[in-house]
Amino acid sequence: MHEIHVGEDLRDRNREIAHENRKHLKKHGIVTLNLMSAPGAGKTSLLVNTIPRLKDRYRIGVVEGDLQTSTDAERVGSLGVDVFQIQTGGVCHLDAAMVHSALHRFELDAIDLLLIENVGNLVCPAEFDLGEDARVMLLSITEGDDKPKKYPLMFRESRLLLMNKIDLLPWVDFDTEKAKREAREINPDIEIHDISCKTGEGIDAWISWIERFCKRLEVT
Ligand SMILES: Nc1nc2c(ncn2[C@@H]2O[C@H](COP(=O)(O)OP(=O)(O)OP(=O)(O)O)[C@@H](O)[C@H]2O)c(=O)[nH]1
Ligand SMILES: [Mg+2]
């Protein structure tokens, strides 16, 4: 009897293309970060806070993933960096093939740091390797402190967790220690920072994380 494992075939194919992307990006000396979160957790706001701080030191390219609209790409493009928008047309995550086609639209020798804003979704993006060097997850405190336990894969797959909208803490029932503890139970190696894209709190720590990460890759 023959069985068709569509999901597995898709993931195998994705893994192969992601491997090609990774080789290609490495060849051009590009460090790539995949930003993942639920809708509205603050990915674009983070990019808007990050790019002006880094663009004199790194030549930055951005891939914007959205179901539809180009509003995020326009916001980020106004900061004077190269942006390519992928509209997935309803697909709830980016995959390696989409990123592969985006890579053809950049002049790769003119980029040091590629920031990918994934589609807002707490589940599917974590299942698709894009060929990035690291996955960075944002969790907005407005989403609730039970999210690590309920959506473990994304926490397991991320190297860094940015707990965003910390400025809203006085008005939101969110136990930061519980969320951190439960995230670490899932992924003991995960680094965690509290940030606010509104007040700028914690953004310095995020910027130095990027700098350290880029340095580490340079020497490996
Ligand atoms: N109070 C507060 N609001 C924030 C913060 N970060 C982002 N926001 C607001 O949250 C909303 C969503 O932010 P975005 O940056 O668009 O979130 P996103 O993750 O890019 O959203 P999608 O691309 O739709 O998934 C906006 O109204 C932001 O102004 C923060 O640290 N504090
Ligand atoms: Mg966005």
Q: What is the mean pLDDT of the chain?
A: 95
Kindly report, residue by residue over 81-130, the tens digit of the pLDDT. 999 999 999 899 999 999 999 999 999 999 999 999 999 999 999 999 99
The contacts of residue 169 (CB under 8 Å, 6+ apart) are 141, 176
Query: Could you tell which of 37, 43, 45, 206 is best to mutate to test the pocket of ligand 1, judged by most ligand atoms within 8 Å of the CB?
Result: 45
Best CA proximity match to 193, nearest among 185, 182, 204 = 204
159 pLDDT above the threshold of 80: yes
CB 31 within 8 A of CB 131: no
Among the bound ligands, the one closest to the CA of 67: 1
Q: How far is the CA of 125 from the centre of ligand 2 (A)?
A: 14
Q: How far is the CA of 64 from the centre of ligand 2 (A)?
A: 8
Residue 74 is predicted with a pLDDT of 96
Q: Which atom of ligand 1 is nearest to the CA of 45?
A: 15
Domain boundaries in the chain?
A: 6-219
**SS3 state at 198:** coil
Nearest CA to ligand 1 atom 11: 40
DSSP string, 89-133: TT-SS--HHHHHHHHTTS-GGG-SEEEEE--S-SSGGGG---S-S
CATH code for the structural domain at 6-219? 3.40.50.300
Nearest CA to ligand 1 atom 8: 42
Q: How far is the CA of 43 from the centre of ligand 1 (A)?
A: 7
The contacts of residue 102 (CB under 8 Å, 6+ apart) are 63, 84, 86
> pTM score, two decimals?
0.95
9 pLDDT above the threshold of 70: yes
Mean pLDDT value across residues 2-8: 63
